[in-house]
Amino acid sequence: MAGRPESHFWLQLIPYAGIYWTICTYYDVARSFGKDAAYTAGLVLVPVVFASMLSYGDARYRGPSYLSPEQKWQAQQYAQWQAQQQYAQWYAQQHAQPQPGVKQDPNQPGSGPAQ
């Protein structure tokens, strides 16, 4: 649910270091449900209660919150592509509509509808 690789599960079994990896996993699980760091503290201190609140409460699963470096790069590339598409749509809308208050001469080049 957190999106972490299987190797992080095995890291939780290391004495003392496992506590750190468990808290990191709880944090990612809380973020996967749209919760913050305070909810992570609840998962660490009283996991039975807070895990039950996640499973039976009104929190919705939003997908894994942990991303590998490759996934982060892909997400950045997709976000840039999406921003370019939105800008292209906005630009096309702005230049397709005539400006209010400006008379356009249909005989003048470039003043007609966009082709």
More confident site: 76 or 110: 76
User: Cβ(59)–Cβ(34) under 8 Å?
Assistant: yes
Quick one: average pLDDT of 31-51? 92
Q: Is the pLDDT of residue 109 over 80?
A: no
22-26, 53-57, 71-75, range with the lowest pLDDT: 71-75
- Predicted local distance difference test score (pLDDT) of residue 61: 86
Across residues 30-36, what is the average pLDDT?
90
CB 6 within 8 A of CB 36: no
Boundaries of every domain in the chain: 1-89
Per-residue model confidence (pLDDT) at position 42: 94
